[in-house]
């Protein structure tokens, strides 16, 4: 549903995020309208026509009303949102065991620095930080219909890797490898943005996420591999920022 002006959702699981946003927005709008209507009623009904009567809101009646409204909101709004969020995390967004177990899965390491995204694919040997790695700048290419697992860090300050059309965003933090996974359901070109203000040229951290059909992706991989191995320089230590694919046992 795009009535809130959300970017186009091109991911398999983005609808879960949209559902939470829509549900939250629905209740926020509903309670705003109800509260505004009550205030309007109070203004019109009372005014200067009669003397105001006051109380401190500390009677048992007030206490019970407050408790009842708070409990109702928790049961109808916050509780379900909490349960739905935790279910989404457990079943999908934190379910790395599923993503890692898929034979079609694509693994990408990303290094953020002021003000560029550098992406690294393991290349034909399947190992990161070796001579046959594929390294790209502000350009992430993935296949349609396969889990894409991102491990990400930063060289300098905190950045945030944001894929609005995939409904995914994760902080890139120096000294820490964070991770996320998603799956694109549509081919096309989408924005990569930085979602943490990371310095004067923050706005320049704009990249392109290209989703290709699997066959085209494989062809791109072959070409990029040949280009990257030609550009490989064993003495350029700064360019070898990759790490062994991190295995997580938690969650
Ligand atoms: Cu940034």
If one looks up domain 104-239 in CATH, what number appears? 2.60.40.420
Token pair recorded at residue 6: 């959300």
Closest by CA position to 166, among listed 230, 108, 209: 209
Total length of the chain: 251
CA atoms of 158 and 162, how far apart (whole Å): 13
- For the chain, domain boundaries: 14-44+56-93, 104-239
Ligand 1 center to residue 172 CA distance, Å?
8
Q: What pTM does this model have? A: 0.88
Ligand 1 center to residue 201 CA distance, Å?
8
Ligand 1 center to residue 118 CA distance, Å?
12
Q: Strand runs (DSSP E) across the chain, as ranges?
A: 106-113, 116-121, 134-137, 139-143, 147-154, 159-163, 168-172, 178-183, 188-194, 207-212
Residues, Cβ < 5 Å to ion ligand 1? 159, 194, 198, 205
Mean pLDDT per segment of 10 residues, for the chain of length 251 residues?
79 96 94 96 87 87 95 96 97 95 96 95 90 92 97 96 97 94 98 96 96 96 86 82 76 37
């Amino acid at each position: 549903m795009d009535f809130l002006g959300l970017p186009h959702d091109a991911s398999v699981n983005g609808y879960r995020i949209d559902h939470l946003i829509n549900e939250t927005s629905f209740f926020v709008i509903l309670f705003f309208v109800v509260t505004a209507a009550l205030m309007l009623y109070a203004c019109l009904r009372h005014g200067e026509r009669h003397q105001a009567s006051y109380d401190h809101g500390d009677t048992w009646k007030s206490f019970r009303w407050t408790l009842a409204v708070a409990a109702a909101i928790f049961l109808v709004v916050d509780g379900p949102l909490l349960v739905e969020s935790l279910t989404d995390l457990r079943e999908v967004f934190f379910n790395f065991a599923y993503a890692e177990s898929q034979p079609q899965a694509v693994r990408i390491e990303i290094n953020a620095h002021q003000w560029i995204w550098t992406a690294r694919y393991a290349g034909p040997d399947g190992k990161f930080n070796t001579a046959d790695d594929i390294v790209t700048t502000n350009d992430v290419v993935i296949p349609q219909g396969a889990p894409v697992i991102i491990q990400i860090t930063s060289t300098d300050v905190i950045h945030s890797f944001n894929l609005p059309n995939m409904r995914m965003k994760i902080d890139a933090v120096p000294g820490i490898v964070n991770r996320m996974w998603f799956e694109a359901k549509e081919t096309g070109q989408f924005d990569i943005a930085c979602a943490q203000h990371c310095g004067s040229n923050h706005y320049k951290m704009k990249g392109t996420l290209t989703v290709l059909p699997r066959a085209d992706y494989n062809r791109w991989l072959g070409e990029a591999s040949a280009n990257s191995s030609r550009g490989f320089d064993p003495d350029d230590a700064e360019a070898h920022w990759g790490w062994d694919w991190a295995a997580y046992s938690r969650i």
